Structure 1
């Protein structure tokens, strides 16, 4: 894959040149040649800088989807965000379990619930300490924003990759409204969603929303049992109460509950040992594991798994937001409490033998408090804030290793974290066209881990990870009782240049730090449980965004360069009797690339709307120690494809005189990508396109009828994998197959 770097280098330099040309060109002069009436590009408003602004005024690379786009394109889970975000990758280690978000090649490639993500995630302003808390479906959302690059001078929790803002729809004090949607789809899926907004008085409003999913069949067929795997039974409900006691004060209370009694998906097995049918291994279908098992059917959604991957999830969220206007400034308080529990079973070896089967539990309790004071004068827009959070995570793993080592293991980790920060950001309006930006942040984070892994030896002599003698009691293989303290000072400097009302050029340099943490998986030596260090990223970005209104077009482009130090990633640790993939640090990496997004409503075809996003990326890791010696400089970051693209087109027409309709198609492309820092070819995903489409009809502004399909070409593509060569096998995880369905929606005013 690295042989594409010269092409990317050339593209990068040409892009910088093109940005300069765009900045130097007055769009109004070009547009004067076009005498046609332009179609209006709707203004998009975001809260990326903690206040409502037009997207075209924000000197940050932001991808955004509003309420209508979220519903129309069925953006129902966090993995769907890549449909409108170039240079982003979102994957799951086990389908349905927990997402990993990577933005511009920066992400923590870890699936344990005890670690903070590289991309800060905020739901209604409340920071999520773990991506495990983002495992459920979306419903009744107002907006999704993806901010790229460090954002610590504006947001409560520090991060290196960026920020994901998810905003739910709020109560309306003036208008009654309701919506009910019923859907049916492939794999015996039934979906019901509803919303009710009631103004209780001039100062009090209530909004209720709920969603339920019952998918009777899973995507995967288990030949070992004759059953399918991946059924879903999920219910979610949310209540929000908005109280406005005066024109200066808003109090918003939210209570949300999520419940799941489902099954996880299953990975595809691959063997590493040659058989009579092949001499080329590992990875081919004929290859086997140490116990002689092969999976030769070539179907990633069919296999023989030894466990039923039951998945139970319960989550409760309480949020309180208070805004008070003091004339000179507005004080905002955001308080959040989350209680999360899950239990799941997984067949990590992806075979019918009990080689690596686990029963896992995670319990997360999180409290956070953020205070912000923000104001503005004729020449200055400013904000100061403070953030405090505590997280408690209890994780257990009960491992069934009977087929390989005739033993059972039990691991436990109790992780506690406390985060404190103060931050400030200011924008100085030097002139009508020039704004200088400066921000500063100080963070202190303390974490502790108390945990162990035990070998529960069977009564067979020499069995278990410790090869203990007959009758031995449980043996502690590794234990940890450790604390870490991380302190950091981060910053941002920027310049916004408003060339004219419709064009903004911005330049920024910023630094973000993500604190260290602990590996909380199964370990066989004390060294494997040592904490990993904090990572630091310094970002440089040049961008332009604007409108060519006479052509019905808006655009956004940016080039960026990242200096990435002490990169947190998985490494293969072979110091114990069983190799373990654990979290550690690599000295550094360099990342650079291009983001380009555009929307076009061509004046010659009034019913047509086109949008596109392109991401070009080049990543290079410094040399680091691998399981077989030093890995030379030049490996790519995990989940950092050289090229990503998202395209969409919608066409409005009339089925009858009173029945308007819309046909839409969208697609996402991703080039080859590795999924680990070793750039293991067994875990590499090839390039692929995923294409979706929908046809909607609208009746009397009250009814919507939609037929939809996702992954219409039934593309088979790898999103994650694990190489367990030393244990005889590995697995690959594939994205969802083709799905389709119909949805009927009724609106009430």
Structure 2
């Protein structure tokens, strides 16, 4: 493909046939600019492109963006975003993302809030690298900005309906209009599917039904020539099935068959088993539709039955108010955001009909933010100065089921005496988190010479995060029975079951064991972390010509520390991790070629990454379980290339490619073999790659549109995306294989764009791929597969556009 590009650049006759590429206008720097005039790396996509690619949620944007991955490391309903190898592989709901996600300039600081439907979108902007001087929540990887279509003065309306595989029906519509004073827009989308796409390996059962609806209302008031107000209200209700995992034999990737034994694996691996030596039927490899899950669990102690079928009942309600007031040559902007998120969600970690690991998450989240900024633009000098404040509160109740694990009833056939007499069947993890952040920021762009522009940015942030949590004894009392037997305590349902293993504490377990105060060694862990930090940016742009922009930037960003929201056995496991800091050095070029028919952008970068937040092992009394830590030093090299080419009228070629070389240069990680509570032994793992860092990733799209007479037009398009394999970082079970996805479309519509009919196929070759893999809770290794081949038809009709 690149050979064809070079040949076209050298062919003088080609440019004469070329049409002009329409430049995308972005607001990456809080003001409207052409994407090619901004000295940062941006991938921008229109609403129509999102529709054609089948983007339903924020997670799906990764299909279109080289260098961006979205995965998970547990079945908790928390997507994990990574840009250019900068990500945080923590499944806790309370963890802040390294990638900032904004909807109409309002931050969604917790990724669990971002799974709502994407609809009626004007464009999406993916900004790569630290952007701390302009964006309120502290992140290190970059930002994803979703910009909604805004109200119009003239009447407009439209409807888009799709029907596809697995009886999936999508309906999206909007109506917009008003006058010179008031304009409004109302948009709605619903996705429904009555047929699942995952098939149980143990019974006649399917999983994957969809039931999600979202609505957004926008009112814009042009009060005067200089004063404007906008109010946005949105609501999302999602009662869809969740995805189930597929377990596999860990020997396939050079590990042991399992992380820990579990039942009913004993029937296949112990000599006394009825299927000794046979392959467990729940091991599924290379079949995206094959999976399994637990539908219900009945406690043998209380007799209570729980619905564990993977499904969600999520509700997001939010409001945004914006004021823009032109004061002379300046504009005062105030943006207020409030979002409330509630969910009750069940997930199956282990990928089986057994109950090694299943959970029910109940989450309540409230997020408030306020930004006030003053900006001005004289042509030679553009500047922004502002204040930012945010406050959020979270409560999470995490009910965990583990009856068939080695910590539970699985201990009996496998002969694990520590748990056999008093198996642990259920856990209740509860925590509260409150975060308050305040910042002052400034950004200046100065054209100090005809072709030179200097960009300076800075932000000072103070943030406080309060956390309190514990793994409590559930109603069945099984955790209490275990702790009482081991430590001589007298704990019952509702009591905290997290062991105080801090030697400096007066309630240290070994200080009170054998005394009447032994119960005091089991307590709620409370802590507060304070962060005060500057971040900044300096950039220099040089306009070699009207069509070539060269730029270089040095930027610094940080992401504040946090706490471990996983099931906890000891208080040391809950110690906070520190903030991470990233310094980026990037140079790039944005070039418009062939008389405006081609846009070719390139960038190369180096990241100095300090104290990266990462998964590690927590050494506890019951064994080595989920922990979090900081990686002292890492480095990332990379390069990206982005092409848009319109060689002749109607023929469009888009391509993007990203290359990454990541390395941990300093990290003594926990050695899981040598460590046993209370002694922790570390190992030098420097030299490994970072998790979710594919060496190569690329996308390419070719579309051709031509007229059929005077009234109709035909279109055909195909695209491909490739993501290289990943190592999983320090956890090889988190590694993924490379995969390639092909999509195709064939459309017919009116020349004026009023209507369109589109036939489409996604994952055309039915590639069985898994963007995520991990330990399935306690015992099995699992993979989370992507969607198999789907196909369908989309019809759209618009008025007034």
Shared fold per TM-score greater than 0.5:
yes
Instruction: Give a deviation string over 1:84-117, Cα, whole Å, max 9, x none.
Output: 3221111245689332110000012223221221
Supply the distance in 1 between the matched residues of 2:28 and 2:352 (Cα, whole angstroms): 46
Supply the distance in 1 between the matched residues of 2:592 and 2:254 (Cα, whole angstroms): 59
User: Residue 601 of structure 1: SS of its match in structure 2?
Assistant: strand
CA contact (8 A) 2:699 2:721 kept: yes
Residue in 2 aligned with 1:230?
Answer: 208
Residue in 1 aligned with 2:219?
Answer: 241
Shift of 1:73: 2.6
CA contact (8 A) 1:222 1:304 kept: yes
Counterpart pick for 1:192 among 166, 171, 179: 171
User: Are 2:439 and 1:421 aligned?
Assistant: yes
CA contact (8 A) 1:96 1:265 kept: no
User: Are 2:744 and 1:693 aligned?
Assistant: yes
Q: How does 1:303-318 map to 2 (within 5 A)?
A: 303-307=291-295, 308-318=309-319
User: Are 2:90 and 1:110 aligned?
Assistant: yes
Structure ranking higher in strand proportion: 1
Aligned length, in residue pairs: 713
Instruction: Give a deviation string over 1:257-284, Cα, whole Å, max 9, x none.
Output: 101112101011135599xxx9994279
Residue in 2 aligned with 1:10?
Answer: none
Residue in 2 aligned with 1:122?
Answer: 102
Shift of 1:477: 2.7
Instruction: Give a deviation string over 1:659-715, Cα, whole Å, max 9, x none.
Output: 31111111110111133x3140x3321111011111111036321111111111111
C-alpha spacing 1:354/1:614, structure 2 compared with 1 (3 Å):
same
Shift of 1:71: 2.4
Counterpart pick for 1:714 among 766, 770, 773: 766
Supply the distance in 2 between the matched residues of 1:131 and 1:446 (Cα, whole angstroms): 20
Structure 1 segments unaligned to the other structure (5+ residues):
1-14, 16-21
C-alpha spacing 1:302/1:611, structure 2 compared with 1 (3 Å):
same
Counterpart pick for 1:730 among 770, 781, 786: 781
User: Residue 263 of structure 1: SS of its match in structure 2?
Assistant: coil
CA contact (8 A) 2:293 2:310 kept: no
CA contact (8 A) 1:219 1:230 kept: yes
Residue in 1 aligned with 2:228?
Answer: 250
Shift of 1:403: 2.3
CA contact (8 A) 2:768 2:788 kept: yes
Residue in 1 aligned with 2:454?
Answer: 436
Residue in 2 aligned with 1:140?
Answer: 120
Supply the distance in 1 between the matched residues of 2:162 and 2:189 (Cα, whole angstroms): 11
Shift of 1:462: 9.8
Shift of 1:627: 3.4
Counterpart pick for 1:703 among 730, 739, 755: 755
Q: How does 1:312-461 map to 2 (within 5 A)?
A: 312-404=313-405, 405=408, 406=423, 407-456=425-474
Moved more, 403-412 or 686-695: 403-412
User: Residue 686 of structure 2: SS of its match in structure 1?
Assistant: coil
Supply the distance in 1 between the matched residues of 2:478 and 2:83 (Cα, whole angstroms): 49
User: Are 2:573 and 1:528 aligned?
Assistant: yes
Supply the distance in 1 between the matched residues of 2:133 and 2:172 (Cα, whole angstroms): 37
Residue in 2 aligned with 1:669?
Answer: 722
User: Are 2:602 and 1:623 aligned?
Assistant: no
Moved more, 94-103 or 463-472: 463-472
Supply the distance in 2 between the matched residues of 1:686 and 1:227 (Cα, whole angstroms): 28
CA contact (8 A) 1:519 1:529 kept: yes
CA contact (8 A) 1:551 1:602 kept: no
Tell me the C-alpha RMSD between the 2 structures: 2.7
Shift of 1:626: 2.5
Supply the distance in 2 between the matched residues of 1:280 and 1:177 (Cα, whole angstroms): 58
CA contact (8 A) 2:473 2:480 kept: no
CA contact (8 A) 1:257 1:317 kept: yes
CA contact (8 A) 1:460 1:470 kept: no
Supply the distance in 2 between the matched residues of 1:221 and 1:457 (Cα, whole angstroms): 33
Shift of 1:318: 0.4
User: Residue 36 of structure 1: SS of its match in structure 2?
Assistant: helix
User: Residue 660 of structure 2: SS of its match in structure 1?
Assistant: strand
Residue in 2 aligned with 1:6?
Answer: none
Q: How does 1:6-85 map to 2 (within 5 A)?
A: 36-85=16-65
Residue in 2 aligned with 1:4?
Answer: none
Counterpart pick for 1:572 among 607, 610, 617: 617
Supply the distance in 2 between the matched residues of 1:297 and 1:641 (Cα, whole angstroms): 24
Counterpart pick for 1:495 among 540, 544, 562: 540
Shift of 1:346: 1.4
User: Are 2:131 and 1:151 aligned?
Assistant: yes
CA contact (8 A) 1:335 1:369 kept: yes
CA contact (8 A) 2:70 2:81 kept: yes
Supply the distance in 2 between the matched residues of 1:450 and 1:57 (Cα, whole angstroms): 47
Supply the distance in 2 between the matched residues of 1:95 and 1:551 (Cα, whole angstroms): 47
Supply the distance in 2 between the matched residues of 1:382 and 1:237 (Cα, whole angstroms): 35
Supply the distance in 1 between the matched residues of 2:95 and 2:725 (Cα, whole angstroms): 27
C-alpha spacing 1:240/1:71, structure 2 compared with 1 (3 Å):
same
Supply the distance in 2 between the matched residues of 1:366 and 1:461 (Cα, whole angstroms): 34
User: Residue 56 of structure 1: SS of its match in structure 2?
Assistant: helix
Shift of 1:444: 0.5
User: Are 2:642 and 1:642 aligned?
Assistant: no
Q: How does 1:480-629 map to 2 (within 5 A)?
A: 480-550=525-595, 552-603=597-648, 606-621=649-664, 622-628=666-672, 629=682
* TM-score under structure 2 length normalisation: 0.85
C-alpha spacing 1:576/1:300, structure 2 compared with 1 (3 Å):
farther
C-alpha spacing 1:477/1:501, structure 2 compared with 1 (3 Å):
same
Instruction: Give a deviation string over 1:510-567, Cα, whole Å, max 9, x none.
Output: 1001100111121111111111100000000000002003372111100000000000
CA contact (8 A) 2:71 2:772 kept: yes
Supply the distance in 2 between the matched residues of 1:50 and 1:485 (Cα, whole angstroms): 28
Supply the distance in 1 between the matched residues of 2:706 and 2:379 (Cα, whole angstroms): 47
Supply the distance in 1 between the matched residues of 2:618 and 2:129 (Cα, whole angstroms): 31
Instruction: Give a deviation string over 1:328-356, Cα, whole Å, max 9, x none.
Output: 21111110000000111112122222221
User: Residue 439 of structure 2: SS of its match in structure 1?
Assistant: strand
CA contact (8 A) 1:64 1:84 kept: no
C-alpha spacing 1:585/1:599, structure 2 compared with 1 (3 Å):
same
Instruction: Give a deviation string over 1:158-205, Cα, whole Å, max 9, x none.
Output: 2110111110010012x1100012211111111111000021x32101
Shift of 1:459: 7.3
User: Residue 718 of structure 1: SS of its match in structure 2?
Assistant: coil
Supply the distance in 1 between the matched residues of 2:614 and 2:781 (Cα, whole angstroms): 19
Supply the distance in 2 between the matched residues of 1:435 and 1:444 (Cα, whole angstroms): 30
CA contact (8 A) 2:77 2:347 kept: no
* TM-score under structure 1 length normalisation: 0.90
Residue in 2 aligned with 1:477?
Answer: 497
CA contact (8 A) 1:271 1:287 kept: no
